[in-house]
Amino acid sequence: STQIHLASRPTGWPTAENFRTVRVDLPNLAPGQVRVENSHISVDPYMRGRMNDVRSYVPPFAVGEVMTGGAVGEVVASAAEELPVGTTVLHQQGWRDVAQGDASDFTAVQPVPGVPASAFLGVLGMTGLTAWVGLTTIASFRPGDTVFVSGAAGAVGSVVGQIARLLGAKRVIGSAGSAEKVRLLTERYGFDAAFNYKDAPVREQLPAHAPDGVDVYFDNVGGDHLEAALDVMNDDGRAALCGAISQYNATGAAPGPDNLGNLVTRRLTLRGFIVGHHLDHATEYRERMGAWLRDGAVATDETVIEGIDHAVDGFLAMMRGENVGKMLIRTR
Ligand code: NDP
C-alpha cells in the first residue's frame, strides 16, 4: 500500500520536500482486524498546524510517520465479525490508500440515500458539524440575525451560510477569494450578498454588504476579516472563532485587529471552539442535515483530486483556495 509521511517540518508554506511517499507491504490480518480500501481521504487546514512542533489541541504529526486524518473506505478483508467485507467505514488513519487495524479503530457509517460516502468527510462529517456547532451553539444564532461568514465557499463556510438561511437568518453575507466562488455563494448556496476579498480590503467592502450591521460573524480566516467584522458588529453581537487560515503559513507575527475596544462598547462575545469537544451534537446534526440533503435544501460541493500520489498537491491547492466545498483525495 502507499502512504504519505511527513518528512520534515515546514517553515511557512509546505513544499513537496516536506513529504515522502512510502510503499509498504501489509502483514496478514490478525484476529479482530480489518483491511480497508480507502475511497477518499480528507485534507484539512488544521493539518498545517499539526506539521509544527507546538502545543495545540491535537499533538503534532511525528516526522517519519504517516499523515493521519479522516478517511472513508470499504472493508475488503475482515477478521472481525462486527465489520464484514463490504462495510463502509470512517477512520482516522489518513493519507494512505489501504488502512488496516483493529476493528475498533473503524466506524461503520450508514449511507444516506443519494449521498456519496465521501460526505462523511464533509457535509455529514467533521466540517459540517463544525458549521452547525459554531453557528448554533458557539455563536448562539437566532432567527432574524444577520450573519457574515468568511471562507464562505469552503467546506465549513458553505454549510454555515446554508444552515443560517434554513434557520431563518435575516441576511447572510459571505466572502471568498475568486469571482467564481462569489457567484456560487449567491447563485448556488443562497447567500444574500458576497464579495471577493482580493478585490479590495475587506474593511472597505464589507460595510456596503451589511447596511444593518452583523449580529453573528463566523470566522474562518482571522486577521483582516476579523477586524472588518468587528467594525460592523451590532450591539450584543457574537463571533464564533473557528479558524484563522490567513495566518497558518505566516512566518512573522500577523497584524491583529486594532478595534478590539468594540468588544466592550458593543458588549460583543467572541468565542473560540474545537469541534471535537462538541461531538454530542453529531447525532442531531446528521439527522437534520440528512433530511435537508434528501429534500435538496442544501447544495454540497466537493473538489476531488485523483490519486494518493497527489495528496500533497491537493492539500496545498486547498490552502491556496483552489477548492470549492470540501477538498478530498480519491484513492481508488
Ligand atoms: P476550506 O474548504 O474553507 O478550504 C480552505 C479555504 O481557505 C481555501 O479554499 C481558501 O478559499 C481559504 N483561504 C486560504 N487562504 C486564505 C487567506 N489568506 N484569506 C482568506 N481565505 C483564505 O477549509 P475548511 O472548511 O475545512 O476549514 C475552514 C476553516 O475552519 C479553517 O480556518 C479551519 O482551520 C477551520 N476549522 C476549525 C474547526 C474547529 O473545530 N474549530 C474544525 C474544522 C475547520 P478562498 O479562495 O476563499 O481564499
Alpha helices by DSSP H, listed for the chain, are: 46-50, 126-132, 155-166, 179-187, 202-209, 223-232, 262-265, 282-294, 311-320
Angle in degrees, CA 69, 279, 38, rounded to 5: 30
Tracing cell 479482530 back to the chain, one arrives at 32
Verify whether ligand 1 is closer than 6 Å to residue 194 (CB atom): no
The predicted model gives 243-251 an average pLDDT of 95
Looking at ligand 1, which residue's alpha carbon is closest to its atom 9?
A: 321
The three cell numbers of residue 172 are 447572510
The residues pairing with 175 across neighbouring beta strands, listed in sequence order, are 195
CA of 293 to the centre of ligand 1 (A): 23
Verify whether ligand 1 is closer than 6 Å to residue 135 (CB atom): no
Answer for the pair 136, 169: CB distance below 8 angstroms, yes or no: no
pLDDT in tens, 134-174: 999 999 999 999 999 999 999 999 999 999 999 999 999 99
Q: Which atom of ligand 1 is nearest to the CA of 319?
A: 14
Answer for the pair 235, 267: CB distance below 8 angstroms, yes or no: yes
Q: Which of 50, 58, 156, 183 to mutate to test ligand 1, by most ligand atoms within 8 A of the CB atom?
A: 156
pLDDT surpasses 90 at 311: yes
The predicted model gives 281-303 an average pLDDT of 96
CA of 267 to the centre of ligand 1 (A): 27
Report d(CA 240, CA 229) in Å as an integer: 12
pLDDT in tens, 226-243: 999 999 999 999 999 999
The predicted model gives 306-331 an average pLDDT of 98
Report d(CA 104, CA 56) in Å as an integer: 26
CA of 178 to the centre of ligand 1 (A): 14
Looking at ligand 1, which residue's alpha carbon is closest to its atom 8?
A: 321
Q: What φ, ψ does residue 232 adopt, rounded to 5°? A: -105, 5
Looking at ligand 1, which residue's alpha carbon is closest to its atom 44?
A: 127
Report d(CA 221, CA 55) in Å as an integer: 21
Across all residues in the chain, what is the average pLDDT?
A: 97
Contacts of residue 11, Cβ cutoff 8 Å, sequence gap at least 6:
251
Verify whether ligand 1 is closer than 6 Å to residue 157 (CB atom): yes
Domain ranges of the chain: 2-122+300-330, 126-276
pLDDT surpasses 90 at 57: no
pLDDT attached to residue 255: 80
CA distance readout (Å), 289 to 128, 130, 132, 295, 299 = 9, 13, 9, 10, 11
Burial class (CB in 10 A: 0-12, 13-18, 19+), 57: exposed
pLDDT in tens, 190-228: 999 999 999 999 999 999 999 999 999 999 999 999 999
Report d(CA 124, CA 110) in Å as an integer: 11
CA of 3 to the centre of ligand 1 (A): 25
The CATH superfamily label for domain 126-276 reads NAD(P)-binding Rossmann-like Domain (3.40.50.720)
Note whether ipTM > 0.85 here: yes
CA distance readout (Å), 117 to 31, 38, 39, 73, 90 = 27, 11, 9, 8, 9
* Torsion angle (degrees, nearest 10) of CA 244, 187, 286, 118: -80
Express as a percent the part of the chain with pLDDT over 70.
100
pLDDT surpasses 90 at 120: yes
Verify whether ligand 1 is closer than 6 Å to residue 122 (CB atom): no
pLDDT attached to residue 254: 81
pTM, full prediction: 0.96
Concatenating the DSSP letter of every residue in 162-213 gives HHHHHTT-SEEEEEESSHHHHHHHHHTS--SEEEETTTS-HHHHHHHH-TT-
Verify whether ligand 1 is closer than 6 Å to residue 308 (CB atom): no
Verify whether ligand 1 is closer than 6 Å to residue 274 (CB atom): yes
Q: How confident is the model at residue 253 (pLDDT cuts 50, 70, 90)?
A: confident
Verify whether ligand 1 is closer than 6 Å to residue 45 (CB atom): yes
Verify whether ligand 1 is closer than 6 Å to residue 60 (CB atom): no
Looking at ligand 1, which residue's alpha carbon is closest to its atom 31?
A: 243
- Separate counts of helices (H) and strands (E) for the chain: 9, 15
Q: How confident is the model at residue 55 (pLDDT cuts 50, 70, 90)?
A: confident
CATH of the domain spanning 2-122+300-330? 3.90.180.10
Verify whether ligand 1 is closer than 6 Å to residue 128 (CB atom): no
pLDDT surpasses 90 at 306: yes
Q: Which atom of ligand 1 is nearest to the CA of 326?
A: 2
